[in-house]
Amino acid sequence: MKKLYKSALLVSLSATATLVFAQSATDDIAKYREMIADGNPAELYEAAGEDLWKKPMGPKNASLEKCDLGKGPGVVKGAAAELPRYFKDTNKVQDLESRILTCMERLQGYDPKEIISAGFEKGKRKDVEAIVAYVVTAAKGHTINISTKHPKEKEMYQMGKYAFYFQGGPMDFSCASCHGEDGKRIRLQDLPNLIEQKGAALGYGAWPAYRVSSGNFWTMQRRLNDCYRQQRFPEPIYTSDVTIALQVFMGANGNGGKMNTPGLKR
């Protein structure tokens, strides 16, 4: 009986120590983020993106200053807080990156297929990433307001919900496996519950972000791409419907929260 009691006591102490260590490590990560928040390297991408937005480029030698991100030609402030959304001129629901591709094609004459196939941080895709940093910085502090009023927006929300819960692949994972309930973490990293408003606002509102571990700026498309990689699913096509639909689902769930972009991640 004494041996059984001692064993139970050791298990209890071990579990307590593990929880204390995990909480301490989590607190340390939060302190680290606070320390470097004032010098977010994403500012360098933002500056480059602003220059690219205003600089005449491409076969048509035009700037993106007439690009309509949903709030009128050339309006950047707050635009990212309302994307993805339906655009009448394309008859599609578009996120920030797919909309930038539309503007680069129509205003500047670039071939969007080349950008889609380029890969992250390569070719003109690198320019898109910088422009994203510029646009999302102009939405910092704005209220997340993803519309689901238009029939196509409603359709994309439902598609995103289906994709979020779809479970498969060699690891039998889904987005919900990590982000479908409170209190989950990976490598001491808290995972927001993207079904609930608070968690969705926290998670959606912090991306795009600068990744300290990789030393570069990640757009939302890249974040979702990496999620699929971790689930061992095939890599989604850049700006494909499923990636936009997931953003509609997450963003709409987080409506009312604040944009904190660009975020700063480990």
Alpha-carbon span 127 to 52, nearest angstrom: 7
First to last CA, the chain: 47
User: Which amino acid does the sequence have at 121?
Assistant: E
Sequence-distant (6+) residues with CB within 8 A of 209 are 42, 217, 218, 223, 261, 262, 263, 264, 265
175 catalytic per annotation: no
Alpha-carbon span 175 to 182, nearest angstrom: 14
Q: Indicate the pairing of strand 189-191 with strand 184-186.
A: antiparallel
Task: Given the residues 67, 103, 175, 227, select the one marked as catalytic.
Answer: 227
Give the pair of three-digit tokens for residue 76.
Answer: 């950047």
User: Of the candidates 232, 189, 173, 210, which has an alpha carbon nearest to the alpha carbon of residue 36?
Assistant: 210
CB 196 within 8 A of CB 254: no
Sequence-distant (6+) residues with CB within 8 A of 102 are 87, 90, 94, 112
Angle at Cα 125 formed by Cα 120 and Cα 127, nearest 5°? 125
Distances in Å between the alpha carbon of 265 and those of 175, 183, 190, 241, 261?
19, 19, 12, 26, 11
Listed as own residue / partner, the contacts of 118-126 with beta carbons closer than 8 Å and 24 or more positions apart are 120/222, 120/225, 121/216, 125/238
Give the residue numbers marked as catalytic.
227
